[in-house]
Chains A and B, each alone.
Chain A
C-alpha cells in the first residue's frame, strides 16, 4: 500500500534528523553514545532503504506547508527507480562509513559534534533524493552545503580548516545563485515546481529555453565540483577522512549528478553539449593533476573530480542512467579508497604525505588488499565494477560518434591508471620512507570491516553481484542503457582501457620506483609537475577576491562615508544639530536620566493632545 510506504520514507528521512538533534542537544559530552546512536541510525536507514528497493514500488506523497500568494511551498516524495537506487547506495555506503568513523574518531574530543554532523548530512542528502519538487530539492541542497561546511570545519582551530570550510560553502552558494534563478524561471515559465508536472510541461513544449537548463546546471557545477566551481573540493580534504569519504567522494558530489539526471528533461541540447565537453575535459585534466599531489587525500580528491567529470559527460551525452550507474559504482570504490586512505593515515600516526609512506603492504595487509582491489576497479579492469560503469560511458561517446569527447575520456582513463599505479607504488610497495610508516600498524576491526565489505564485496564483485544482490527492478533503467550502446568486452573503449591499464598502471609502478623519498616526475621534469600542481583557477579567484571584490567594497564604503554620510549629512544636516545643540546644550549634558524620562512623558502627552484635539 502506498500510504505504508510513504511512512517508510518518513522514517528514512527523519530518523537521522532526530539522531542529529539528540546528539547536538544532549550528547555533546557523551561522544561514544552519540557515535553509536548515529551509526545505528545509519544502519537502520540502510535496512529500510534496502526494503524499499526490494519492494520496487514507486511512492508519491505531498503536503503543502504554506502559500506565498499563488506559490505553493510544497514538501513531498517522488520515489522512482533512480531514487530507490540512490537511496540504497547513499545509505549503504554511509552506514559503513559511520562504522569506520567509530574507530577513526575514537580519540577525538568532539565526537558528539562530529556524529551529529554526519547525521544531519544524512538527512540533507536523503532529502535531495526523495524530493518531489525543485524548491524542496533546493532546501536540502542548501542543507547539504551547511553540513559539509560544519564537517570540513571539524578541526576548526586549524587555519586551513577554517578557510576550507568557508570556501566550500561560498563556492557552493555561487552555484546556488544560478540554481535559485533557474527555479524562479521554471516557476515563471511553467507555473509549477513539481517534477512530474514539469516533465509534462517539458514534453508538451516544443523547445526548452537554454537558460532554464543553464541556470539549473549552476547548482550542479557547485555541488559536484565541476569546472569552474571545482576549486573547493581539494581544500575540503581538511575535514576528517570519513567526511571526505562520505561527502566528498560518495554522496554529496554525486547529488549534483543525481539532480541533473532527475531534471534531464529540462536540459536543452546546448546545455547538454556544454556539460559533456566540460565534463570530459575536466576528467582528463583532473586525472593528470592527481599526479602532482603528494597528499594522499588530495590526490584522491582529484580522482573524484575526474570521475565526476565522467558522470557529467554521461549526462551531457544523453545517458543519465549510465551516469547514475557510475555514480553508484564510484560511490562504492571511492568510499573504499578514502576509507583505505583513512586507515593508512590512522596507521601512520596522521601522516598524509605519500612520499613519507611506503611498504605498507606488509604492515597493513587488509587495508592494502582492499585498497588495491578498489584501485583496480577505479582503473576499470574488465568485469570489475568500474569497468561496467566507466567504460560504458566511454563506449557511449564512441558509439554516439563524439570522437573528441571519446579522446578526452580515453586520456582520462590513462590518467586514472597513472595516478592509481603511482599511489600503490608510493604507499604500499617499496620501503618505508619515514618513522611513522616504519611503525605503522593495522587498524581496528571497526575500520577494516567496512573496508572489506565495501571494498571486496562491491568494488571487485560489484559488477557481477549487482544483478543478483540488487533486486532486478533497481537495474531496470540501466540494462537498456547498456544495450543501447552495445557494450561488450571487445568494444573500442575496453581496448583503450586495457592499453591504458598496461601502459599506465604498470608503467607508473615502474616509473615511481626510480626515485626514493621524492616524486619521480618532479625530479625528472619539474616544469611539468609545477604545471599540474599549480592551481590556476584558485589564483584567478584569489585575484578576484583581493583585487576586485575587496577594492570594490572598500570603494563603496568610502563613497558612502564621503558622499552620503559626509557631504549630505554633515553639511546639509549639520546646521540642525548645531542649533539644537546650542539650545539644549545645558540640560543635555547634565546627564540626568530622570529628567529625560520626564521629558518623554511630557512630550508624548503633548503630541497626543495635539493630535486628538485637532
Chain B
C-alpha cells in the first residue's frame, strides 16, 4: 500500500501543531523568525489540504491509503466527507494566519501559536476516523479558542468567552455522553471505534438507549449553533479576534455537523419520531427566526455572526431531509454548503475587520461611503457577500439550491419557509453592503480620513481574500471537486439509515445495557 497520502495527511495536521508548540515555547523568538515559521505552519496545510482532496477524489487511490497509525491508537484517516472539509479548513487557516500575521498584538508569538493549535486541532477533527479522537481534537481546538477570545478579543470579550465556554462545554459533554453510549451500544472496542465500525455495530445492536440520538443531536447541535442552543455563537464570534472568528465560524463549527452526519444520521435515527420533529422545527427556526434576528442587527460584525448562525439552517435541513426521505441529495447538498459556507464566512469576517481597521467602527449607522476610498475592499466584500447569499458561480449556490431541491417532496409551505432565506439573507446582507460602502461618505469617516488617511486593502489581506473567494469560485464552477468525494459517503449513509428505518429502534431501557 502506498503510504504517501497518509504521510501527507499526517504532515498537514501535525505541521501547525508542531510550529505552534515552538512558538508557545519560544515567546522571545525574534519577530521575523517567528513570522516566517508561523507562515510555514499556516501554508503547509493549505498546500496539502487541497492536494489531499484531489488525491481522494481520484478513484485509483484507495481510502486505506489515507490512514496512518498516529499516536496512542487514534491515528489519522481521511473519509470522503472529511476530505473537502479538511481542504476548506486548511484554506481558511491560511487566510486566518495571514490576517493574524498582519496584526499587531501583545504576546504575538503566543497568539500565533494558539491560532496554529486551533488550526491543527480543527484539521485533525476532519482528519481522523476515530470517534474518540474526533472528540478529543475538537476540545484540543476549542480550548485555544476560549483563551484567544478571552485575552485578545474585542469589546465584551469576557462575558462572551464565558458564555461560549459554558455552552460549548455543556454541548461537548452531552455529545461526549452520546458518543460514549453509542460506542458502548455498538459493542466496538474503543481502540477501533471508528465512525464506520460504530455505525456498523449499531446496525447490529440489539438496543440503543433512547436518549443517545438526542444527546448527539443536541450536544453536537449546540456546537454547530442549532436553535435554540445558539446564544453563544453571535457574541462569541463577535468578541473573538478576527482570525479566531474565521476559523471558528468557518471551520471548527462544522465539527458538530460532521458528527451529526457521521454518527447521528447514519445510525441513531435522529430524524425519526419526535426527535426528528424537534430537529425539523429547530432547523427551520435557524432559517426564519435567526434570519429575522439578523434583520435587527445594527453592527456589522454582529450581523455576520448572526448570519453565520442563520446559514446553518439549510445545512441542518439538508441533513434532516436526507434522513426523512432516505435520499442522498440533501446530504450531498448540506456537505457542499458546509464547505462553501466556511469559505465565504471566513472571507466576510476577514474583510469586515479591514472595514473596522479603516472606519474605526463596526456600527452600520456610523459607516457609509467607504467604497470611494477603498474600491478593492468594497469589491471583495461585495463578492464575499454575494457568495454568502448564494449567488451562482460561488460554492454556496450549489449547497443552498441543492437543499431546496432535496426538500421537493415536503409540503410547499415548508419549502417556502426554508427558501425564504434567499430573501431574508439578501435583505440583511445587501443592507450591510449599502450602509458600509455605498452612499456619500459619512461625516465621521471623512473626519477620520482627514486626520489619518487610510489606504485600500493591503496586499496580504488581498491575497487572503483571494484564496478564500478563489476557492469558492473554483468549487462553484467545478462542483464535482466536492461531490466526487462526498457522493459515496452520502450514498452509504442513506443505505444505513434506510436499514434503520426498516427496523425501528425498540423502546430502550433507562439504563444502558451492558454487553
CB distance from A285 to the nearest CB of B (A): 26
The verdict on B219 contacting chain A, using a C-beta distance below 8 Å, is no
Please encode chain B, from 478 to 495, with 1 for each CB lying within 8 Å of some chain A CB and 0 for all others.
111011100100110010
Segment with Cβ contacts to B, from A87-95, A177-185, A253-261, A526-534 = A177-185
Main SS of the interface on chain B?
helix
List the B side residues contacting A614 at CB < 8 Å.
190
CB distance from B51 to the nearest CB of A (A): 20
Contact at A607–B136, with CB atoms within 8 Å?
Answer: yes
Contact at B430–A604, with CB atoms within 8 Å?
Answer: no
Q: How far is the CA of A442 from the CA of B121 in the complex (A)?
A: 68
The verdict on A211 contacting chain B, using a C-beta distance below 8 Å, is yes
Contact at A65–B369, with CB atoms within 8 Å?
Answer: no
The verdict on B127 contacting chain A, using a C-beta distance below 8 Å, is no
Contact at A156–B439, with CB atoms within 8 Å?
Answer: yes
Q: Which of B301-331 contact A (CB under 8 A)?
A: 327-331
**Which of B117, B386, B406, B430 has most A Cβ within 10 Å?**
B430
Of the candidates A68, A110, A138, which one forms a contact with B406 in the assembled complex, judged by CB atoms under 8 Å apart?
A68
The verdict on A552 contacting chain B, using a C-beta distance below 8 Å, is yes
Q: Assuming A71-B402, A169-B426, A556-B296, is B438 touching A569 (CB within 8 A)?
A: no
Please encode chain A, from 578 to 614, with 1 for each CB lying within 8 Å of some chain B CB and 0 for all others.
0011000000000101101101100110011001101
Contact at A142–B190, with CB atoms within 8 Å?
Answer: no
Contact at A180–B422, with CB atoms within 8 Å?
Answer: yes
CB distance from B386 to the nearest CB of A (A): 6
Q: Assuming A135-B401, A169-B430, is B416 touching A181 (CB within 8 A)?
A: yes
List the B side residues contacting A158 at CB < 8 Å.
439-440
Contact at B139–A177, with CB atoms within 8 Å?
Answer: no
Contact at A67–B296, with CB atoms within 8 Å?
Answer: no
Q: Assuming A66-B398, A556-B296, is B487 touching A177 (CB within 8 A)?
A: no
Contact at A161–B438, with CB atoms within 8 Å?
Answer: yes
List the B side residues contacting A549 at CB < 8 Å.
295, 427
CB distance from A196 to the nearest CB of B (A): 19
Please encode chain A, from 144 to 180, with 1 for each CB lying within 8 Å of some chain B CB and 0 for all others.
0010011001001111011101100110011011001
Please encode chain A, from 21 to 38, with 1 for each CB lying within 8 Å of some chain B CB and 0 for all others.
000100010000000000
Segment with Cβ contacts to A, from B83-91, B95-103, B140-148, B210-218 = B140-148
**Which of A161, A549, A597 has most B Cβ within 10 Å?**
A597
The verdict on B228 contacting chain A, using a C-beta distance below 8 Å, is yes
Contact at A68–B422, with CB atoms within 8 Å?
Answer: no
List the B side residues contacting A568 at CB < 8 Å.
228, 231
Please encode chain A, from 130 to 146, with 1 for each CB lying within 8 Å of some chain B CB and 0 for all others.
00000100111011001
The verdict on B360 contacting chain A, using a C-beta distance below 8 Å, is no
The residue on B at minimum CB distance from A141 is B392
Contact at B406–A612, with CB atoms within 8 Å?
Answer: no
Of the candidates B371, B433, B494, which one forms a contact with A157 in the assembled complex, judged by CB atoms under 8 Å apart?
B371
Q: How far is the CA of A156 from the CA of B143 in the complex (A)?
A: 44
Q: How far is the CA of A153 from the CA of B117 in the complex (A)?
A: 43
Q: Assuming A169-B430, A177-B423, A180-B419, is B409 touching A188 (CB within 8 A)?
A: yes
The verdict on B333 contacting chain A, using a C-beta distance below 8 Å, is yes
Besides A177-B416, A603-B143, 16 other CB < 8 A contacts? A66-B482, A69-B332, A70-B328, A71-B405, A142-B392, A150-B382, A157-B371, A159-B438, A162-B438, A184-B405, A185-B408, A188-B409, A560-B289, A564-B230, A594-B27, A597-B24
Contact at B427–A170, with CB atoms within 8 Å?
Answer: yes
For chain B, which range describes its interface: under 10, 10 to 19, 20 to 34, or 35 or more residues? Answer: 35 or more
The verdict on A2 contacting chain B, using a C-beta distance below 8 Å, is no
List the A side residues contacting B393 at CB < 8 Å.
143
The verdict on A577 contacting chain B, using a C-beta distance below 8 Å, is yes
Please encode chain B, from 420 to 440, with 1 for each CB lying within 8 Å of some chain A CB and 0 for all others.
101100110011011001111
Q: Which of B247-268 contact A (CB under 8 A)?
A: none
Contact at A557–B292, with CB atoms within 8 Å?
Answer: yes
List the B side residues contacting A611 at CB < 8 Å.
132, 136, 190
Q: How far is the CA of A326 from the CA of B101 in the complex (A)?
A: 60
The residue on B at minimum CB distance from A140 is B392
CB distance from B430 to the nearest CB of A (A): 5
List the A side residues contacting B162 at CB < 8 Å.
577, 581
What are 7 A-B residue pairs whose CB atoms fall within 8 Å in the complex?
A68-B333, A69-B330, A146-B386, A150-B382, A177-B423, A568-B228, A608-B136
The verdict on A407 contacting chain B, using a C-beta distance below 8 Å, is no
The verdict on B113 contacting chain A, using a C-beta distance below 8 Å, is yes
CB distance from B107 to the nearest CB of A (A): 6
Please encode chain B, from 27 to 47, with 1 for each CB lying within 8 Å of some chain A CB and 0 for all others.
100000000000000000000
The verdict on B460 contacting chain A, using a C-beta distance below 8 Å, is no
Contact at A553–B371, with CB atoms within 8 Å?
Answer: no
Please encode chain A, from 546 to 567, with 1 for each CB lying within 8 Å of some chain B CB and 0 for all others.
0001101110110010001100
Question: Lowest 5 A-B CB distances belong to which pairs?
Answer: A69-B329, A162-B438, A553-B295, A69-B328, A66-B479
Contact at A556–B479, with CB atoms within 8 Å?
Answer: no
Q: How far is the CA of A112 from the CA of B423 in the complex (A)?
A: 30
Of the candidates B107, B231, B415, B427, which one forms a contact with A184 in the assembled complex, judged by CB atoms under 8 Å apart?
B415
Q: How far is the CA of A576 from the CA of B297 in the complex (A)?
A: 29
CB distance from A234 to the nearest CB of B (A): 19
Of the candidates B331, B406, B437, B480, which one forms a contact with A65 in the assembled complex, judged by CB atoms under 8 Å apart?
B480
The verdict on B72 contacting chain A, using a C-beta distance below 8 Å, is yes
The verdict on B397 contacting chain A, using a C-beta distance below 8 Å, is yes
List the A side residues contacting B441 at CB < 8 Å.
157
The verdict on B391 contacting chain A, using a C-beta distance below 8 Å, is yes
Contact at A550–B295, with CB atoms within 8 Å?
Answer: yes
The verdict on B151 contacting chain A, using a C-beta distance below 8 Å, is yes
List the B side residues contacting A502 at CB < 8 Å.
none
The verdict on A484 contacting chain B, using a C-beta distance below 8 Å, is no
Contact at B419–A181, with CB atoms within 8 Å?
Answer: yes
List the B side residues contacting A174 at CB < 8 Å.
423
List the B side residues contacting A139 at CB < 8 Å.
392, 397
The verdict on B166 contacting chain A, using a C-beta distance below 8 Å, is yes
List the A side residues contacting B294 at CB < 8 Å.
553
Q: Which of B226-259 contact A (CB under 8 A)?
A: 228, 230-231
The verdict on B407 contacting chain A, using a C-beta distance below 8 Å, is yes
Q: How far is the CA of A176 from the CA of B426 in the complex (A)?
A: 12
List the A side residues contacting B332 at CB < 8 Å.
67-69
The verdict on B110 contacting chain A, using a C-beta distance below 8 Å, is yes
The verdict on B114 contacting chain A, using a C-beta distance below 8 Å, is yes
The verdict on B62 contacting chain A, using a C-beta distance below 8 Å, is no
List the A side residues contacting B372 at CB < 8 Å.
157
Contact at B391–A138, with CB atoms within 8 Å?
Answer: no
Q: Assuming A69-B329, A156-B437, A594-B110, is B430 touching A170 (CB within 8 A)?
A: yes
Contact at B392–A557, with CB atoms within 8 Å?
Answer: no
List the A side residues contacting B398 at CB < 8 Å.
66, 68, 73
Of the candidates B151, B386, B439, which one forms a contact with A593 in the assembled complex, judged by CB atoms under 8 Å apart?
B151
The verdict on A187 contacting chain B, using a C-beta distance below 8 Å, is yes
Contact at A187–B438, with CB atoms within 8 Å?
Answer: no
CB distance from A471 to the nearest CB of B (A): 33
Of the candidates A69, A166, A176, which one forms a contact with B327 in the assembled complex, judged by CB atoms under 8 Å apart?
A69
The verdict on B279 contacting chain A, using a C-beta distance below 8 Å, is no
Q: How far is the CA of A174 from the CA of B424 in the complex (A)?
A: 10
Q: How far is the CA of A597 from the CA of B379 in the complex (A)?
A: 39
Q: How far is the CA of A322 from the CA of B405 in the complex (A)?
A: 33
List the B side residues contacting A66 at CB < 8 Å.
398, 479-480, 482-484
Q: How far is the CA of A593 from the CA of B110 in the complex (A)?
A: 8
Q: Assuming A143-B393, A180-B401, A557-B292, is B422 touching A612 (CB within 8 A)?
A: no
The residue on B at minimum CB distance from A146 is B391
Q: How far is the CA of A185 from the CA of B411 in the complex (A)?
A: 10
The residue on A at minimum CB distance from B190 is A614
